[in-house]
Chain A
């Protein structure tokens, strides 16, 4: 028997649409280690994990599990053999209780009925055994993100998982929650579990992982002992070259306030007050960052500003114009760009070609019209230019956008929204799940827009991003701005975390400074 609990040798995976996701991947796991898997978007990490979890069949290559050659025909089989996966987007039934979610598909029976008491007891015991306490009777949708993740992990453990795959587990967590997750992972490791940790955040990987495997364009590049490499070395291996991700911001002079928000409040259908009197200004040439744990009113704020939710009380003005009567169409006429949080939901039409996705917000533009028809010569030139300047990896403008990797799809969205140099840009998690290279390109574009005099609202859960791009920074907690920083100098993620969790807050005078910024 080899020293490895799992070996995947020379795996290749070619999808039906001709995309080669893995061309030659060898990956192995030692029992009881935390093993990081890193690489750009589209490098083939997700595909490899889908193969390991039985969701996809490899086109070539072999898998040995505990020394035995194994073929998974589906995830059911992978689960039976002790592999568990925690997806980036949680797979929980929100209206069920924690216990119901945990026993889903393996419910304890009492005659014909589900034994709810037994389910609760089982869940409680499971939580105690792994030292991951949860309240089995709480409804899942009431849980904060960190706890939902815990439920997901427990769900995998309940099914006897020995190898746990965590897909970007820290993307949605606060620094404090991340610390707790790492503590839990160390405990699981001590109990002999093996963990695959997929992440884009190299410092975290250095902190928790034993070994690290780097993937690039469908191949495994190298596996390192984590303590033997520096962050810069890992980053270089991911990119295949040295990348300077520092952003030059230039000196700052702010102009008029293109975005003005006063006393904005919003109460949702279930009576929860999601926004409580928010006020701020975003002036020309300013990136206004909003940090906060998800679900503290950021979504509602963006929904109101992008005209998908009504202005219930208070006021919002773009270029001095009240927008409460505007809709999604008329706001587009105001030199306005919006990079939405979920690209597949709103950001693109997946089955439509890249070129048409890139001009969808600009159909009234006479540049693209000739004799009442679309002028494809001009459109193609515009699209080609964007594909080059954003380094979008694709087969050409006529390829359906859904065939691109997440990062490249996001570049299409950003290219479109910034294409006509808007005076207002609302960017919501602009680089979520996007690799370092693509994120850098997107960051550069945002900063450049700002330098050209745009007002940018940046809402992001990625604190490093917020700190890097923002000129001024507000923290939202329970529908309020609880902190306002006139500059990001001297700020760090830990300090922000305290405000994000509501432990500290600024006085009203400081927060009032969000209105009209500062000179």
Chain B
């Protein structure tokens, strides 16, 4: 591994560490028993199988949304539509899970396909607008989020709402549609395997196929891609299709894996989490797994500290914002990077001269 790559990893690690340190600071400020709270925050998530299970189950949707964002970012597209896709794919997938009647194994697969298909359709709106009319995908995707939320709520309220229950939830899913738990004593479901499979597939797509090369070339320099004879319009559409399918999968997996009914009454926030995770992973699909696990760990830790100590969960959102801040402010370590590189080269020079 070259020194630059090592440095980038180090850079991310320092950002993570800084985020944790800031968390300490906040805990010290708000907690009466800071040491105890910090220990809960750091250690408790690993203290029992159930909590580790919590980390895994929290990481599942984060992996999906992180992957979806990583693909878009690799193509140089800043699309934040994962949010709406998660919600809409959840709704449409839930319709399938409530009203279809299929045998056990096939049923969840069909629901997944329905969710992925919904995701593709939703993502294609900003995608097509970008490819055909060069409309800014960030603006259109944010607008799509609102539309998805509105349409989804309408469907939930008027078609799917279970009036037998006081809160706003849908009818129960058919039990054959649910994703089974794979580790007893936890809520870790088959979704984690699907997520890992997705990550591997996205990795192969991006780095081992000619389409992936086209995606990355388009992201690095669209003019170059065009000049090389690539069909940039097609690349943009393709990227949106894949990102939509992955995010859509994430939406319905989350619903069928953790819940018995459709329970979201607001946008779940995974779209924006995805942007953070992709950034943390430097847009590498395999890195997304680690980044999602880390964010999940922080969330579970924060959740535990708010349950067992006197620190509010709001702290977590501050934490996450800080991570994004520290990582996007990548330059903050560059002064040291320079010195570090120089040292390496000086060592080599000395060795070189020593040989003569």
Contact = CB atoms under 8 A, between A and B. Distances in A.
Contact of B208 (A340, A363, A374): A374
Nearest to B213: A356
B100 to A, nearest CB: 33
A345 B223 contact: yes
Contacts of A17: 4, 341
B118 to A, nearest CB: 27
Contact of A18 (B4, B223, B230): B4
B292 to A, nearest CB: 24
A20 B4 contact: no
A400 to B, nearest CB: 9
Interface string A331-351: 111000010100001111111
Contacts of A207: none
A353 to B, nearest CB: 10
B132 interface: no
Chain B interface helix/strand/loop/mixed: helix
A349 B341 contact: no
A329 interface: yes
Given A17-B4, A373-B204, A338 B227 contact: yes
B239 to A, nearest CB: 16
A346 B224 contact: yes
Contacts of B260: none
Given A363-B210, A373-B204, A348 B226 contact: no
B334 A16 contact: yes
Contact of A360 (B208, B223, B230): B230
A363 B238 CA distance: 17
Given A373-B204, A374-B208, A328 B226 contact: yes
A49 interface: no
Contacts of B220: 349-352
Contacts of B213: 356, 359-360, 363, 374
Contacts of B317: none
Contacts of B342: 14, 59
Nearest to B214: A363
A490 interface: no
A360 B208 CA distance: 14
A372 B214 CA distance: 14
Given A328-B229, A373-B209, A374-B213, A350 B338 contact: no
B308 to A, nearest CB: 45
Given A16-B338, A17-B341, A352-B216, A374 B210 contact: yes
A38 B229 CA distance: 37
Contacts of A232: none
A360 B341 CA distance: 31
B345 A18 contact: yes
Contacts of A23: 349
A369 interface: yes
B221 A350 contact: yes
A17 B342 CA distance: 10
B356 interface: no
A69 B27 CA distance: 50
B203 to A, nearest CB: 12
Contacts of B229: 328-329, 331-333, 361
Interface residues of A, number: 37
A347 B221 CA distance: 9
B314 interface: no
B77 interface: no
Contact residues on B (Cβ < 8 Å of other chain), bracket: 20 to 34
A349 B213 CA distance: 11
Contact of B341 (A18, A332, A352): A18
Contacts of B187: none
B337 A360 contact: no
A16 B333 CA distance: 11
Contacts of B226: 328, 346
Interface in B304-356: 334, 337-338, 341-342, 344-345, 349
Given A352-B216, A356-B217, A346 B223 contact: yes
Interface string B195-234: 0000000001000111001101100110111111111000
A18 B3 contact: yes
Given A328-B229, A329-B231, A374-B209, A348 B224 contact: yes
A60 to B, nearest CB: 9
B76 to A, nearest CB: 10
Contacts of A306: 227
Interface in A389-432: 395
Contacts of B337: 16
A369 B212 CA distance: 13
A497 to B, nearest CB: 32
Nearest to A343: B224
Nearest to B7: A16
Contacts of A345: 223
Nearest to B231: A329
Given A14-B342, A16-B337, A350-B221, A340 B227 contact: yes
Contacts of B228: 332, 360-361
A352 B217 contact: yes
A363 B216 CA distance: 13
A368 B2 CA distance: 27
A61 B208 CA distance: 46
Contacts of B216: 349, 352, 356
Contacts of A15: 338, 341
A349 B231 contact: no
A360 B334 contact: no
Given A328-B227, A329-B229, A349-B224, A18 B217 contact: no
A334 B211 CA distance: 21
Contacts of A329: 229-231
Contacts of B3: 18
Nearest to A330: B229
Interface string A43-68: 00000000000000001000000000
A359 B344 CA distance: 33
Interface string A372-392: 111010000000000000000
A14 B348 CA distance: 13
A356 B223 CA distance: 15
A349 B222 CA distance: 8
Given A352-B216, A374-B210, A20 B224 contact: no
**Considering the complex of A and B, which 4 residue pairs feature the smallest CB-CB distances, nearest first?**
A332-B229, A349-B220, A360-B228, A349-B221
Given A350-B220, A361-B229, 4 more contacts: A349-B225, A350-B221, A352-B217, A368-B210
7 contacts: A15-B338, A18-B4, A346-B227, A348-B221, A348-B224, A369-B210, A395-B2
